Structure 1
Amino acid sequence: MIRLLNLTLQRGPQRLLEGAELTLHAGQKVGLIGANGAGKSSLFALLRGELGADAGDCQVPADWRIAHMRQEVNDLERLAVDYVLDGDPRLRQIQRDLAVAEAAQDGAAIARLHHELDAADGYSADARARKLLAGLGFDATQMERRVGDFSGGWRMRLNLAQALMCPSELLLLDEPTNHLDLDAILWLEEWLKGYPGTLLLISHDRDFLDAVVDHVVHLEQRKLTLYRGGYSAFERTRAERLAQQQAAYEKQQAQRAHMEAFIRRFKAKATKARQAQSRIKALERLEELAPAHIDSPFDFRFREAEKISTPLLDLSEGRLGYGDKVVLDKLKLSLAPGARIGLLGPNGAGKSTLIKVLAGELEPLAGRLQRGENLVIGYFAQHQLDALDDQASPLLHLQRIAPAEREQTLRDFLGGFDFRGERCDEPVLNFSGGEKARLALALIAWQKPNLLLLDEPTNHLDLEMRLALTLALQEFSGAVLVVSHDRHLLKSTTDEFLLVADGRVQAFDGDLEDYARWLVDYRSQQAPASPAAPARAEKTDRRVQRQASAALRQQLAPYRRQAERLERELGQVQERLAGIEVRLADSALYEAARKDELRELLADQARLKAEEASLEEAWLEALETLEELQRQLEASE
């Protein structure tokens, strides 16, 4: 288990933790939440041994292997798949030792190292690495490209895959979804649900936290508080406590009035029953949980447009793309005032391309795009953060677009985005990604747009700012077209979805759960046929068929060895569990003098049960693979 005892942690002059206490048991999946700068990443560094406690104690089992998602990439020449395989250092060491032994023709060492390679699942390592990459959105061609060929966001995906590749008892993930689209997030959720070790996860995606974690640790006022359940359970518990305070109650009533008005407006125009119920439930849950965020530093809204056009935008027979490459074709889209649309679709299908065309950053290859006379677009995309003037302050940025406005009015407006006091006058140069995103949203909100085009607006935003943005979008009377991997934002602010896939844009009649199922079907249809599957043409080349059978027989051997090894290990774990249960049945063990022994036995029991479940699942998967390969072999012969 992990134990923090009366822990004090300081970075420079800032004290992050003071007298903090926390106990986490093996196998728990824990979300770590708190305001930006509160010390979440520093706590991860402490657990990795990169920082020391200023007082108190941090206890992590000495034999635990710790995997974490690095923030830097230091080998740009490696192929992507090799870079991911480097995440398993023991495997790489065995492979290096084996190459040396083979060069020296040392038979005994070769035999021993092949046994170690089998024990480290080395024969399936390449396939496992490719499966991780595919889940995170890489195609077969990208897997063979150099790391240096990828953009920063895709390099972070490689770092995530490398962390998942590393065998570990403790996995530390700091904002793993920041550079992922919705497809990859859904895949990562399933992977983490099956992870057998202890998981600590920093994330600002409430739906992702709800899907993955079973406990939440809240870092607040230099203390750590453990809550049972996911993020929604944390919100409810905290809301119940804060709602007892009169100030919280009053603010809750104001927020509730806004949300009730939004729900009424939404219900009046909702036409698709399944989507309607999904959105209304999300809105009603927001209404109940408003008090949990009473101490949020954010309180803003998008200023209302003075004029409006109908339609705002009209695109007919649109063909969108880059040069000779057509991404979307035969596109017809009309945006009316009040439209609230979420764009869904696989990675690379053209969602961002569509938004760029509507925003005027990219011209359509063909078709007619007509803009309303009074159209005012508020366009948010990640590249706009880089377009901010590093030497200018938030106040100066706003003064440039509102030179005639009183300075105090601008300062008050920026305060709603938590730019207050001296922070208003500091240059953007040293701002974090979240602070830059908040400033970009503030500049949009000031300019009275009647159409918001938002491409991943929640990247880098913390939970409180995401909620504030959700509330502001609910109150916004103009049209919204949004691409986001934040399902909570999509469910709470849109009332229809468009599906972008296979070069087309069409209405999607369903909710996000339906989309997740659609995505599974879509991936299975896109997956290439297995290279091991025998050809079934009437005139089969017998030589090719024999080669395929031989390849299948060769594949069977490592899986058979793996299944036998897993069965042996499972039996050993079960024997150890039986021994512990015999000792736990001794009533003398529960005497006060033996409480430390009892605590250790219970911890060993929890760890072994988690290991048993993991081994059993891996053993069954190996058996299923063996059976499938055996069926293919029989069919080929």
Structure 2
Amino acid sequence: MLNFKNISLRRGTRVLFREASLIIHKGQKVGLTGANGVGKSSLFAMLRNELHADEGEFSMPPNLEIAHVAQETPALDCAAIDYVIDGDQELRRLQRQLKQAELDGDGIKLAELHGALEHIGGYTAEARASRLMKGLGFSAEQENHPVNSFSGGWRMRLNLAQALMCRSDVLLLDEPTNHLDLDAVIWLQDWLTKYPGTLLLISHDRDFLDAITDHIVHIEQNKAEIYTGNYSAFERMRAEKLAQQQSAYQRQQREIAHIQSFVNRFKAKATKAKQAQSRIKSLERMELIAQAHVDSPFGFTFAKPEKLPNPLLKIDEATIGYGDNIIINQASLSISPGDRIGLLGPNGAGKSSLIKVLAGEMTALGGEVQTAEALNIGYFAQHQLEQLRLEESPLWHLQKLDNQATEKDLRNFLGGFDFRGDKVNDPVGPFSGGEKARLVLALLVYQNPNLLLLDEPTNHLDLEMRHALSVALQEYEGAIVLVSHDRHLLRSVTDQLILVADGAAEPFDGDLDDYRNWLSERKREPDEAVTETQPAVSRKDQRKQEAERRKRLKPLMDALKKAEQQVERYHRQQQQLEQQLADPTVYDDDNKERLKQLLAQKSDVDRDLEQAEADWMEAEEQLEQAE
């Protein structure tokens, strides 16, 4: 149990939050939300004893094993899989002791240590580490590559795998999906839903939060409050709370205006002076209700493109790759104004390479690429953040695009991306990843493109900015091609999916849930090796067979999904009732009726949960038999 009692936390002179009181129980999965800079990562630092509360008291049981993802990866030459196994510190400790016992020739100690290794699953550690690495996108061959041979993004995946390898009581994850593709995000989501310990998760991916969390701690306006339920439930409760707060604020403002009017009229009259003074004291004693701050700091739209030729861009039987390495063969795609295309596919299948060919940053090895004369591409990719001039300001970058615009107009435009006041003149170098991403998006929007090519645009963006981007893209009149691990953005923006896999780029007949099922089937299927007893099947026929199989299994998959949701719902209800029954005051004599009601509800929910779990197991068994 993590107990926060009247906690106040500051960074320098700035208060992050004050008087926060909340309890996180064993096994709960808690999402931390709030704008960038409100104190989410500082709260993690406090849990790791790297930062201490300025006021209040934090307590937790002794000897808890807390795991977190390291932000730096040493340039080691050890094998990647050994680095991941290092996350299981107890295993490594027993292995060191075993080595020493062998040197000492201590047979009794050796037998004792082998028993301890057996108990903690030490002999399956390499297999566990291999499964983690595979889930996060590493190939079997990469397991034995040295750590220092991987790029920064892949090293972050290794750090994540190392944290998951730890048999922790508490797991702290700060934006774990930032360096992952959609496949790895889906795998990590499934892993975390089964994690038995207490999870604290910072994420700006609402679908990810929805699927995993059962509580939300939201930080805003220097307050940290806990809500029961996932992110969608939190949004509903917060909206209701803000509506009530706004109503109370408006009522109080009317009351203040009425009292102030009386004071202004009568404070100079001797006969009314005492009443006026009484009302002045009443105003002083009144605890002011803050106006509900629900406005997003972001407000921007894409202007209507000057020209919208049809088609904007077309590739015909294009071969995409590097030298002799062909990634996609004979890809054909025609993009017209209004198209909303999402690219799906496993890591390394060629999604980014396809976008680079469309953007003109990479030349196709074969085939034809036709572009309209009036084509104006807006291309967003992570490497563009590195091309910002670090010593220059957001205003300078915008002025380089349009030196005829007035500073006032440019400041107003940048304000829509939450660059205000002195921030517009600050050098870009110290900006966070999210601020740099916002600036690149601002520069892209300003150029009024008629084709947007977006390769993971939401990395480092908080929930408010993701929502603003989603709204702006929905109203955009040009064409969009999008690669993103943010399923909410894909769902809300795209209406056509293309699957890039197995050397092809072809329309995907299904939605994101079908894609998840496709990934699961793909992992279960044996390698596509052609044997004498199994004749070769063309990729086209394979895809047709897979589509038919998905269609045949869809009713069973839907039934399984529904059963899973029922189990999750009753499990959440059970946790809520257990939390209420854990309150000592409920057993007071005055609360006998409430106790009786809670126990009756608990009995009903326990029964419903047992039935839902039986339905779930039956649905899973039927699906396995059908497959």
Could you tell me the TM-score, scaled by structure 1's length?
0.76
Distance 2:586 2:241 in 1: 39
Shift of 1:304: 2.1
Change in Cα spacing, 1:446 to 1:48, as seen in structure 2 (3 Å) is same
Query: Residue 176 of structure 2 aligns to a residue in which SS?
Result: coil
Structure 1 position 590, deviation (Å):
4.7
In structure 1, the partner of 2:301 is: 301
Change (3 A) 1:359 1:192: same
Which residue number corresponds to residue 89 of structure 1?
A: 89
Distance 1:375 1:590 in 2: 72
Q: CA deviation at 1:302?
A: 1.6
**1:11: Cα distance to partner?**
1.6
Is the Cα–Cα contact under 8 Å of residues 346 and 501 in structure 1 kept in the other structure?
A: yes
Distance across 2 between alignment mates of 1:293 and 1:314: 46
Q: How does 1:171-570 map to 2 (within 5 A)?
A: 171-243=171-243, 294-525=294-525
| Structure 1 residue identity aligned to 2:364 | P
Q: Let me know the Cα RMSD of the aligned residues.
A: 2.8
1:272-323 per-residue CA deviation (whole Å, 9 max, x = no partner) reads xxxxxxxxxxxxxxxxxxxx99321000012221112111001011000111
User: In structure 2, what residue type is equivalent to 1:141?
Assistant: E
Contact 1:209 1:230 in 2 (8 A): yes
Structure 1's 355 and 588: CA in aligned 2 closer, same or farther, altered over 3 A?
closer
CA distance in 1, matches of 2:491, 2:419: 28
CA drift at 1:76: 2.1
CA distance in 2 between counterparts of 1:75 and 1:196 reads 32
Letter in 2 for 1:365: L
Give the number of aligned pairs. Answer: 505
* Counterpart in the other structure of 1:8: 8
Q: CA separation of 1:527/1:176 partners in 2, compared to 1, >3 Å: closer, same or farther?
A: farther
User: Any idea what SS the aligned residue of 1:523 has?
Assistant: helix
Q: Which residue is 2:134 aligned to?
A: 134
| 1:271 corresponding residue in structure 2 | none
* Aligned partner of residue 19 in structure 1, secondary structure: strand
User: Which amino acid in 2 is paired with 1:340?
Assistant: R
Return closer, same or farther for 1:526/1:145 CA change in 2, 3 Å cut-off: farther
Q: CA deviation at 1:244?
A: 5.4
| CA–CA separation in structure 1 for the residues paired with 2:3 and 2:477 | 50
Give the drift of 1:526.
5.7
Following TM superposition, by how much is the alpha carbon of 1:220 offset from its aligned partner in structure 2, in angstroms? 1.0
Secondary structure at the aligned position of 1:156 is classed as helix
Task: Find the counterpart in structure 1 of residue 56 from structure 2.
Answer: 56
Please give the per-residue CA displacement for 1:250-291, whole angstroms capped at 9, x wherever unaligned. xxxxxxxxxxxxxxxxxxxxxxxxxxxxxxxxxxxxxxxxxx
What whole-Å deviation, never above 9, does each CA across 1:358-385 have from its counterpart, x for those lacking one? 0011000011101001100000000000
Cα distance per residue 1:380-432 (max 9 Å; x no partner): 00000000000110000000001111111110000000000000000000000
State the alpha-carbon separation in 1 of the partners of residues 118 and 212 from structure 2: 31
Cross-structure match for 1:255: none
| Counterpart contact for 1:20–1:222, Cα < 8 Å | no
Cross-structure match for 1:117: 117
Residue deviations 1:559-596 (CA, integer Å, cap 9, x gap)? xxxxxxxxxxxxxxxxxxxxxx9xx99x999569xxxx
Q: Deviations over 1:176-219 (max 9, x none)?
A: 00011110111111111111111000000000000000010101
| Partner Cα distance (2:44, 2:94) in 1 | 29
Answer whether contact 1:45 1:51 (CA < 8 A) is retained. yes
- Using a 3 Å threshold, how does the CA distance of structure 1 residues 25 and 527 change in structure 2: closer, same or farther? farther
CA distance in 2 between counterparts of 1:210 and 1:528 reads: 35
For 2:72, the equivalent position in structure 1 comes to 72
Q: Secondary structure at the residue paired with 1:224?
A: strand
Does the residue aligned with 2:217 lie in a helix, a strand or coil? strand
2:32 counterpart of 1:32: yes
SS at match of 1:485: coil
Q: 1:17 Cα deviation (Å)?
A: 1.9
* Paired position in structure 2 for 1:101: 101
SS where residue 327 of structure 1 aligns?
strand
CA shift for structure 1 position 121: 1.1
- Which consecutive segments of 4 or more residues in structure 1 shift more than 6 A? 245-248
Deviations 1:65-105 (A, max 9, x none): 11111111125222110001000111101111111222332
Distance in 1, matches of 2:30 and 2:418, equals: 28
Q: Give the structure 1 partner of residue 564 of structure 2.
A: none
- CA deviations 1:517-564 (Å, max 9, x no partner) are 0111112226699xxxxxx99xxxxxxxxxxxxxxxxxxxxxxxxxxx
Q: CA deviation at 1:247?
A: 10
- Report how far residue 139 of structure 1 moved: 0.6
- Counterpart CA distance in 2 for 1:308 and 1:412 is 27
Structure 1 position 110, deviation (Å): 1.1
Counterpart of 1:224, as a letter, is A
State the secondary structure of the residue aligned to 2:112: helix
Alpha-carbon separation, structure 2, partners of 1:488 and 1:418: 22
1:112, CA displacement in angstroms? 1.2
What residue number does 2:168 align with? 168
Q: 1:324: how far off?
A: 1.1
Is contact 1:16–1:39 with CA below 8 Å preserved after alignment?
yes
Q: Deviations over 1:38-68 (max 9, x none)?
A: 0100000101111111111011111311111
Q: Distance in 2 between matches of 1:310 and 1:328?
A: 25
Structure 1: which amino acid aligns with 2:145? R
Whole-angstrom CA distance in 1 between matches of 2:247 and 2:436? 31
User: 8 Å contact 1:47–1:60 — kept in the other structure?
Assistant: no
Deviation at 1:331, TM superposition (A): 0.8
Check the 8 A contact 1:22/1:225 in 2, yes or no. Answer: yes
Structure 1 residues 588 and 317: alpha-carbon distance in aligned structure 2, compared to 1, 3 A threshold: closer
Q: Does the 8 Å contact 1:303/1:447 carry over to 2? A: no
SS of the residue aligned with 2:454?
strand
Question: CA distance change for structure 1 residues 9 and 150 in 2, over 3 Å: closer, same or farther?
Answer: same
Larger RCO (alpha carbons 8 Å, 6+ apart): 1
User: Over residues 224-246 of structure 1, what are the superposed CA-to-partner deviations in whole Å (9 max), with x where a residue is unaligned?
Assistant: 11111111111111222334577
Contact 1:293 1:464 in 2 (8 A): no
CA distance in 1, matches of 2:146, 2:307: 51
Q: Paired residue for 2:256?
A: none
Structure 2 counterpart of 1:595? none
Matched with 2:21 is 21
Gaps of 5+ in 1: 249-291, 530-535, 538-580, 593-608, 614-619, 621-637
How far apart are the structure 1 equivalents of 2:310 and 2:24? 57
Provide the rounded CA distance (Å) in 1 between the counterparts of 2:188 and 2:488: 17
Instruction: Using the TM superposition, give the Cα deviation of residue 505 of structure 1 relative to its aligned residue in structure 2, in angstroms.
Output: 0.6
Closer, same or farther in 2 for the Cα pair 1:591/1:239, shift >3 Å?
Answer: closer
Counterpart residue number, 2:573: none
